[in-house]
Amino acid sequence: MTQARVLRRARLVWMLVAALASAAVVVVSAQARTALSRSDAKRLREKVALIVYHGNRPAPPAAPLRTEVTERELNAYLTLDSAGELPVGVTEPAVTIHDARRVSAKAVVDLDAVRSHRKSTGMLDPVNLLAGRLPVAASGLIDARGGMARLQLESVSVAGLPVPVMVLREIVAYYTRSPEYPRGVNIDDPFPLPSRIKAIELRRGEAVVVQ
């Protein structure tokens, strides 16, 4: 697997952990956003590079390696340094890591693009009622151990109004389509963690990557 592909998968994992990826609405205030710094974003990049480096070593380390990633670093990267890496139509991402397994996230998403590239399931299809660029928020639980991760969505809202979880499934599927995944990623499916990551331990305000 090429390093570029590993980096793409690593970013996907962080987005799933953070947003989703893989996920109560948490609003990052203007004051909090201005407090985010380039140095925080740089630390996140350095830590991801270290995770990828250890994952590419010929043999795994004798003792587990633990890399701590803070919520502040992740949000600084998403806010200040993710231009060109987020899918077109996805802006203003933010994430909160609550406790042992719970995460929540929000972003502004171009729902017109999602709706135009899917088949309607009928007049009551909630995606048909959504239009324009709207804030999407989600919360759920992440279980990441044994080299695999699974996201259990609990709630989704669009513009502050609760919507069925299937709406986020459609959004993620649309924005994760690729030659490798022509139909996009199904967020209900377990997925392998990249770079020999064995587990991701979540606690309030940070995630610990175990390799």
Helix (H, G, I), strand (E, B) or coil at 95: strand
Q: Sorting pLDDT into bands at 50, 70 and 90, what band is 142?
A: very high
* Spatial distance between the Cα atoms of 90 and 80, rounded to a whole number of angstroms: 14
Sequence length of the chain is 211
First-residue to last-residue Cα distance in the chain: 18
Q: Is residue 74 exposed (0-12), middle (13-18) or buried (19+ Cβ within 10 Å)?
A: buried
pLDDT value for 31 = 37
Inter-CA distances, 133 with 18, 64, 113, 157, Å: 20, 43, 9, 14
Least confident of 105-119, 148-162, 184-198: 105-119
Helix (H, G, I), strand (E, B) or coil at 132: coil
- Please tell me the number of Cα atoms within 13 Å of 8 on its side-chain side: 11
Least confident of 37-46, 109-118, 130-139, 180-189: 109-118
Contact predicate 164/45, CB 8 Å: no
pLDDT value for 97 = 93
Domain ranges of the chain: 3-210
The tens digit of pLDDT for each residue in 53-100 reads: 999 988 877 889 999 999 999 999 988 887 777 777 888 899 999 987
